[in-house]
Chains A and B, each alone.
Chain A
Amino acid sequence: MLRAALPLLGLPLVGAAATEEPTQEPGSPGEPLPGLVLFRWQWHEVEAPYLVALWILVASLAKIVFHLSRKVTSVVPESCLLILLGLVLGGIVLAVAKKAEYQLEPGTFFLFLLPPIVLDSGYFMPSRLLFDNLGAILTYAVVGTLWNAFTTGAALWGLQQAGLVAPRVQAGLLDFLLFGSLISAVDPVAVLAVFEEVHVNETLFIIVFGESLLNDAVTVVLYKVCNSFVEMGSANVQATDYLKGVASLFVVSLGGAAVGLVFAFLLALTTRFTKRVRIIEPLLVFLLAYAAYLTAEMASLSAILAVTMCGLGCKKYVEANISHKSRTTVKYTMKTLASCAETVIFMLLGISAVDSSKWAWDSGLVLGTLFFILFFRALGVVLQTWVLNQFRLVPLDKIDQVVMSYGGLRGAVAFALVILLDKTKVPAKDYFVATTIVVVFFTVIVQGLTIKPLVKWLKVKRSEHHKPTLNQELHEHTFDHILAAVEDVVGHHGYHYWRDRWEQFDKKYLSQLLMRRSAYRIRDQIWDVYYRLNIRDAISFVDQGGHVLSSTGLTLPSMPSRNSVAETSVTNLLRESGSGACLDLQVIDTVRSGRDREDAVMHHLLCGGLYKPRRRYKASCSRHFILEDTQERQDKEVFQQNMKRRLESFKSTKHNICFAKSKPRPRKAGCKKNGVANTAATNGKSPGDLGFRDTAAVILTVESEEEEEESDSSETEKDDEGIIFVARATSEVLQEGKVSGSLEVCPSPRIIPPSPTCAEKELPWKSGQGDLVVYVSSETTKIVPVDMQMGWNQSISSLESLASPSCTQAPTMTRLPPCPLAAEEPQAPLDPRPSFAFPPSLAKAGRSRSESSADIPRQQELQPLMQHEDQSHLSPGTASSHWCIQFNRGGRL
Chain B
Amino acid sequence: MGSGGSRAAQVPDADSIRRETGFSQATLLRLYHRFRALDSNKKGYLSRVDLQQIGALAVNPLGDRIIDSFFPDGSLRVDFPDFARVLAHFRPVDDEDTGTRDPKEPEPLNSRMNKLRFAFQLYDLDRDGKISRHEMLQVLRLMVGVQVTEEQLESITDRTVQEADEDGDGAVSFLEFTKSCWEGLGLSWHFLKEAIYISWREDGSSRRSPFRCQGD
Contact = CB atoms under 8 A, between A and B. Distances in A.
Contacts of B100: none
Interface in A426-484: 464, 466, 469-472, 474-479, 481-484
Contact of A864 (B148, B159, B215): B148
B10 interface: no
Nearest to B59: A504
A758 interface: no
A669 B150 contact: yes
Given A482-B66, A864-B148, A867-B149, A494 B199 contact: yes
A227 B123 CA distance: 60
A839 B151 CA distance: 9
Contacts of B90: 483, 486
A865 interface: yes
A475 B185 contact: yes
B186 A464 contact: yes
Contact of A575 (B151, B168, B183, B196): B151
B contact face: mostly helix, strand, loop, or mixed: helix
Q: B148, B165, B170, B194 — which one has the most chain A CB atoms within 10 A of its CB? A: B148
B29 interface: no
A507 B154 contact: no
B18 interface: no
A663 to B, nearest CB: 9
Given A135-B216, A485-B66, A490-B200, A393 B151 contact: no
Contacts of A483: 90, 196-198
A495 interface: yes
B140 A474 contact: yes
A868 B196 CA distance: 36
A490 B201 CA distance: 13
B184 A471 contact: yes
Q: Which of A133, A136, A470 has the most CB of B within 10 A?
A: A470
Interface in B31-71: 31, 34, 37-38, 51, 54, 56-57, 59-63, 66, 70
Interface in A522-565: 522-524, 526-527, 530, 533
B152 A864 contact: yes
B104 interface: no
A393 B189 CA distance: 13
Interface residues of B, number: 73
A868 B143 contact: no
Contact of A479 (B59, B152, B196): B196
B216 to A, nearest CB: 5
Most interface-central of A391, A493, A533, A865 (chain B CB within 10 A)? A391
Contacts of A665: 133-134, 170
A495 B213 CA distance: 5
A521 B144 CA distance: 11
A524 B153 CA distance: 12
Contacts of B151: 575, 578, 669, 672, 839, 867-868, 871
A494 B214 contact: no
Contact of A658 (B162, B169, B210): B162
A394 interface: yes
Contact of B155 (A132, A138, A495, A578): A578
Contacts of B170: 661-662, 664-665
Which of B34, B37, B197 has the most chain A CB atoms closer than 10 A to its own CB? B197
A575 B156 contact: no
B215 A522 contact: no
A394 B185 contact: no
Nearest to A574: B155
A560 to B, nearest CB: 28
B185 A476 contact: yes
Nearest to A491: B34
Given A483-B90, A533-B159, A524 B144 contact: yes
Interface string B167-193: 011100000000011011110001001
B56 to A, nearest CB: 4
Interface of B: 31, 34, 37-38, 51, 54, 56-57, 59-63, 66, 70, 87, 90, 92, 118-119, 122-123, 133-134, 139-140, 143-152, 154-156, 158-160, 162-165, 168-170, 180-181, 183-186, 190, 193-200, 208-216
23 contacts: A135-B215, A388-B216, A392-B215, A393-B199, A469-B163, A469-B180, A470-B159, A474-B140, A475-B119, A479-B195, A485-B63, A488-B56, A488-B60, A489-B38, A489-B57, A490-B87, A491-B34, A492-B200, A492-B208, A495-B199, A527-B144, A661-B162, A871-B149
Given A471-B184, A488-B56, 10 more contacts: A131-B213, A133-B216, A472-B180, A472-B185, A474-B160, A478-B139, A527-B152, A668-B150, A864-B152, A867-B152
CB-based closest 3 A-B pairs: A472-B184, A471-B180, A868-B149
